[in-house]
Amino acid sequence: MTENHSAERPGLSRRGMLGLAGAAVGAGVVGFGAGVAVDRAVSAGAIGSATTYPFYGEHQAGITTPVQDRLHFAAFDVAPGLDRAGLIELLQDWTTAAARMTQGRPAGTYGPASGPADAPPDDTGEALDLPPGGLTLTFGFGPSLFVDATGADRFGIASRRPAALVDLPHFPGDALVEALTGGDLCVQACSEDPQVAVHAIRNLSRIAFGRAAIRWSQLGFGRTSSTSRSQATPRNLFGFKDGTANIKSEDESVVRDQVWAAAGDGARWMAGGSYLVARKIRMVIETWDRQQLGEQERIVGRDKGEGAPLSGGTEFTEPNFLALAKTGGTKIDPDSHVRLAHPTMNDGAQLLRRGYNFVDGNDELGRLNAGLFFIAFQRDPRTQFIPIQSRLAKNDLMNEYLKHVGSAIFAVPPGAREGSYVGAGLFS
């Protein structure tokens, strides 16, 4: 079963190989396990399915793909010494490894065929027996890749920065932490199995050794939006269904109009790509939990059990913002989250949300450090995320229970053609 390294796809660059070897000095023992099975059968009791999504294609996977349950997201900064050729080589190496891992294979050949006999294994091994669980790896480019903090055009791509890849403005109430914000590159890893997602980010980080390093990263669970009508609407850590009105992959015309960048939008190399906005939103859940149910529902604008709008009906009934309550005023509060985020309040703008819940331990007062890692894809943040968030940040009743601590924006290029690499259009 040992895989032949001279396979149909190019292997890692020589630099990638050296990155893996790093400064390793072996202790002189060479004892590779004989016949290590790399594409081994799935172990009994594995929790992920054998589902795979194609890595190559018109669009990158991990956007309209039905949301998997687990996330490991990483923002990277490129190393100071990296040049244009080095950046391209990194993207090529990442493409090679991502195309393998998303198909349930190790990041590289697992065994001595991959390099000198004293090299470390090309794959770290913790996902060897695990099915891919629908693993997708989605790559993006941050504004600082085009022009760095000193104003330098290190990679000769400044003129190709898409106009839609704006620096996000400051929103009212933002409490951003620099170490959780920005990034030159991003990788979103989603799978049904967290160990598979973690394995992918770890191995991509390892391949990038000396060329790019993780700036910040986030694990998430329990997807907070569905992107397909085949999925039930999950709940966020406020206990409410989240994403009822999300863009679904089945809404083809909405996806075309609101998710995918088009050739005529400005940057031709982004046609078929999208723009990703990530926000780390801490929820003040202890305070929220002490609010009475009716107040929670007023803030959200939906009932908690079913997720129906307070104007009546069931989960997928359109809210009626004009419906009057017997006690006076409208049934749905004008400053409720559902109303302010609704397309009719935002010139029809929508987002394809793909966020996750997170719990990062607790703070020194014993409160869970928990919240929502918000991810949204869109065709143009200038007409979608930014105006929607501006409105929410000013008036949303929910703001009392939210703190935005991290923020980033990335241009997510179209999918790679087989034989090419992710983002190739930016360099041609």
> Among the candidate windows 17-25, 88-96, 268-276, 414-422, which touches its own copies by CB under 8 A?
17-25
According to the binding rule CB under 8 A, does residue 313 interact with its own copies? no
Contacts of 171 (CB under 8 A, 6+ apart): 389, 390, 393, 404
DSSP-derived letter for residue 149 is: T
For helices 194-207 and 14-21, the axis angle rounded to 10 degrees is 110
Rounded distance, CA 231 to CA 67, Å? 8
According to the binding rule CB under 8 A, does residue 166 interact with its own copies? no
Q: Which of 17, 36, 189, 372 binds its own copies (CB under 8 A)?
A: 36
Name residue 356's beta-bridge partners: 373
Closest CB 144 distance from its own copies, rounded Å: 15
Q: What separation in angstroms does the CA of 378 have from each of 188, 194, 198, 286, 367? A: 15, 26, 26, 32, 34
Of residues 66 through 95, those in contact with its own copies by CB under 8 A are 69, 72, 74, 76-77
Q: What separation in angstroms does the CA of 327 have from each of 36, 331, 357? A: 71, 9, 36
Q: What separation in angstroms does the CA of 356 have from each of 70, 268, 303, 410, 422? A: 8, 31, 21, 18, 25
According to the binding rule CB under 8 A, does residue 202 interact with its own copies? yes
According to the binding rule CB under 8 A, does residue 367 interact with its own copies? yes
| Residue nearer to its own copies on the CB measure, 89 or 193 | 193
Measured in residues, the chain has a length of: 428
According to the binding rule CB under 8 A, does residue 18 interact with its own copies? no
According to the binding rule CB under 8 A, does residue 386 interact with its own copies? no
According to the binding rule CB under 8 A, does residue 54 interact with its own copies? no
Q: How many CB atoms lie within 10 A of CB 293?
A: 11
According to the binding rule CB under 8 A, does residue 120 interact with its own copies? yes
> Among the candidate windows 152-160, 262-270, 295-303, 314-322, which touches its own copies by CB under 8 A?
295-303
According to the binding rule CB under 8 A, does residue 230 interact with its own copies? yes
According to the binding rule CB under 8 A, does residue 227 interact with its own copies? no
- Tokens standing for residue 401: 């229970």
Of residues 234 through 273, those in contact with its own copies by CB under 8 A are 234-240
> Among the candidate windows 83-91, 166-174, 294-302, 345-353, which touches its own copies by CB under 8 A?
294-302
Contacts of 122 (CB under 8 A, 6+ apart): 12, 20, 106, 107, 108, 109, 110, 114, 115
According to the binding rule CB under 8 A, does residue 214 interact with its own copies? yes
Q: Which of 253, 328, 365, 428 binds its own copies (CB under 8 A)?
A: 365
Closest CB 34 distance from its own copies, rounded Å: 8
Closest CB 385 distance from its own copies, rounded Å: 24
Name residue 214's beta-bridge partners: 76
DSSP-derived letter for residue 393 is: H
| Residue nearer to its own copies on the CB measure, 304 or 382 | 304
Closest CB 4 distance from its own copies, rounded Å: 17
> Among the candidate windows 151-159, 359-367, 377-385, 414-422, which touches its own copies by CB under 8 A?
359-367
